[in-house]
Amino acid sequence: MVSKNLFVAKRTLNRLCQSSKYVCVVRKNSVWTQDNIIKSPFKSVEIPNCTLYDYVWQNLDRWPERTLAVCATTGRGYTYEQGFKLSNTFAANLRKKFKIRDGDVVAVMLPNIPDFPLVTMGIMEAGGTVTTINPIYTAHEVQRQLLLSEAKLVITLPETVKIIREALAIAKLNVPIIVVNTNGESIPEGTVLFNELSEDLHVDKSCLKEVRRGPNDICFLPYSSGTTGLPKGVELSMRNLIVNCEQVNDPLIRCHSETTATHQDRALVVLPLFHIFAATVLMFHKMSLGIKLVTLTKFQPDTFFEAMEKYKTNLLFVAPPLMLLMGSHPASTERSLQYLEVLVNGAAPLASSDVDRLFERAKRKIDFRQGYGLTETSPTVTLTPVGYTKNFSGTGPPIPNTDLRIVDSNFNNLGPNETGEILIRGPQVMRGYRNNPQATSEVFTSDGWFRSGDLGIVDEDGILVVADRLKELIKVKGFQVPPAELEAVLREHPSVEDAAVIGVPHSVNGESPKAFAVLKKGCQSPAEELCAFVNERVAPYKRIQHIVFLDSIPKSQSGKILRRVLKEQYS
């Protein structure tokens, strides 16, 4: 134990010593231009001219026998060499047996399992585009994304095949289903087993030579609500994702150590891989570095802390609800946190007191970072540097190749310590929203800056603090809940004339959806009935518990819901 603690202390000291280099960079090169544009203080990176598939596997020969991914509860997993070979074989079968062609969309509806990276890389090697679906979505939610993405194939678990088939029936689609069997049981009739496709020794891989995909092609299509409205397909190119991986490799901000003959970082994958945060930061990026991914299929506090200790987790990426849990749960102890070296929080900022509570649990200080990003930015935009402890509410300066502006309502640039909307420019910014030019035009300025919909403040050193959201999204446990989606479901009820939804503070979840409904003349539906109607059609984190009945929904002259008025009166 003594030698292990000494090792961790030395590694942490090395990280802290590097923080002074960041201060020097800022002092020598002001991050603020005369026009009040915030430039990155870090050296620009070169963007590799390759596909994401080649980027991820580029150093495979350095760590073929290292573990790529392992299930935290069962121990089932793959080495990097196995992952490469199986995904390659799977890719060939996608082209041969399912006729997947360049640009075709394949939907992946899986929890965090060791097979997730293999499935994803196989789709890309076959020339396909990956769209990820939350595995707890209802058929109502799934069918919308299948229609919008025009998916040609769905990959899921045996237990969620029923949901997929219900979704296909609603959407009137006939799409094949591949299942990943994690427990050896029989698979649903009419589906195809992933293992049979990935372990096929006889498939002709020459078909992969037909793939013609380049860095500027779209390869990942997550769905986000953007600044408002229903979910939209975010078109991310291979170049977007590759550069975001390279941007966080800068020595002053990187969160990992090099994989060598004697060392391999261990990252516990508790954030969902269907979300851009984990997909890029944990899957694509960490695979390119030979890091071990320990996947947690279902989050349970005891299982989480047991995995932290059992797999000697030294890298952890979290959202605020998990961070708060780590500062209060009985299983969060010096022992369960003993190997943790780097902890990165995203999705929403934390207060210094929240960080201090964790340090008290660990009985030592940990290299704590905060970052800021969006699905539309692949996702990372800012990240606090190594050893930065000046302000735990700060999310750091812009990462390499990234510029920021803080603007007022007329898009005039504001200066240090002034609050305004965060605008972003960089090679990690999305192409646009799929088949939605209007929504795309609304989030880009005429000169190409991406509007985040978030309010922020940047200090003299270029450190961004996210102050609030202009956007209407509700954040529940770090997940996006678009009010427009819940409103649309409410209006489907035969008794509802009109509806509105806002986010209200919640002690555990951050925010919670609260609904308002106007009933049609002569109709009487109790709140419990409307809640049940909505909740059986949406994922658990989107569910509403409270409905207020109104005579009318407050709206502007243009017909937009005045959520601000509802928040002032009922929040």
Listing DSSP states for 455-485 in one string gives: EEEE-TT--EEEEEESS--EEETTEEE-HHH
CA dist 512 and 505 (Å) reads 6
- Centre a 10 Å sphere on the Cβ of residue 26 and count the other Cβ atoms it contains: 17
User: Which residue in 53, 52, 78 sits closest to 63, CA to CA?
Assistant: 78
Structure tokens that stand for 108 in this block:
């992946």
| Confidence (pLDDT) at 346 | 86
Residues 415 and 530 in one domain: no
* Domain span including residue 478: 474-570
CA dist 210 and 238 (Å) reads 18
CA dist 197 and 96 (Å) reads 10
Report which secondary-structure segment, H or E, holds 532: helix 527-535
C-alpha distances out from residue 505 to 292, 353, 514, Å: 37, 19, 10
Residues 385 and 288 in one domain: yes
Amino acid at 316: L
CA dist 417 and 384 (Å) reads 17
| Confidence (pLDDT) at 369 | 94
The answer to whether position 229 is within a domain reads no
Residues 501 and 541 in one domain: yes
* DSSP 8-state assignment for residue 279: I
Cβ 517 vs Cβ 508: under 8 Å: no
Say how many domains are in the chain.
4
CA dist 297 and 457 (Å) reads 37
pTM for this entry: 0.85
Domain closes at, from 365, 396, 427: 396
| Confidence (pLDDT) at 571 | 75
CATH number of the domain that 531 lies in?
A: 3.30.300.30
Give the HSE-up count for residue 177: Cα atoms under 13 Å, Cβ half-sphere.
26
Q: What is the pLDDT of residues 67-84, one digit of tens each?
A: 999 999 999 999 999 999
Residues 254 and 390 in one domain: yes
| Confidence (pLDDT) at 361 | 95
Cβ 349 vs Cβ 395: under 8 Å: yes
The answer to whether position 226 is within a domain reads no
Q: Provide CB contacts within 8 A for 384, sequence distance 6+.
A: 253, 369, 370, 371, 394, 395, 396, 463
CATH number of the domain that 417 lies in?
A: 2.30.38.10
CA dist 362 and 311 (Å) reads 17
Report which secondary-structure segment, H or E, holds 487: helix 483-492
Task: Taking each helix axis as running N to C, give the angle between helix 139-149 and helix 161-171, from 0 to 180 degrees, rounded to the nearest 10.
Answer: 60
Judged by DSSP in three states, 152 sits in coil
Q: Is the dihedral of CA 328, 332, 338, 340 positive or negative?
A: negative
Residues 251 and 342 in one domain: yes
Domain closes at, from 161, 193, 221: 221
What value does the CA radius of gyration of the chain take, rounded to a whole number of Å? 24
Amino acid at 542: K
CA dist 386 and 161 (Å) reads 44
Domain closes at, from 168, 189, 221: 221
| Confidence (pLDDT) at 29 | 55
Cβ 332 vs Cβ 323: under 8 Å: no
| Confidence (pLDDT) at 371 | 94
The answer to whether position 66 is within a domain reads yes
Give the HSE-up count for residue 20: Cα atoms under 13 Å, Cβ half-sphere.
4
CA dist 414 and 449 (Å) reads 15
The answer to whether position 69 is within a domain reads yes
Residues 454 and 564 in one domain: no
| Distance of alpha carbon 228 from the chain centroid | 18
User: Which residue in 278, 318, 274, 282 sits closest to 539, CA to CA?
Assistant: 274
CATH number of the domain that 22 lies in?
A: 3.40.50.980
Residues 192 and 265 in one domain: no
Residues 178 and 59 in one domain: no
Residues 17 and 136 in one domain: no
Whether the ω angle into residue 222 lies within 30 degrees of 0, i.e. cis, is: no
The answer to whether position 549 is within a domain reads yes
| Confidence (pLDDT) at 556 | 61
The answer to whether position 233 is within a domain reads no
Residues 175 and 320 in one domain: no
The answer to whether position 45 is within a domain reads no
Cβ 397 vs Cβ 382: under 8 Å: yes
Judged by DSSP in three states, 192 sits in strand
Residues 376 and 408 in one domain: no
Alpha helices in 225-314 (DSSP H): 238-247, 276, 285-287, 301-310
CA dist 67 and 185 (Å) reads 25
Cβ 290 vs Cβ 439: under 8 Å: no
Q: Which residues of the chain have pLDDT under 50?
A: 1-10, 12-20, 23-28, 558
The answer to whether position 249 is within a domain reads yes
Amino acid at 415: G
Residues 459 and 311 in one domain: no
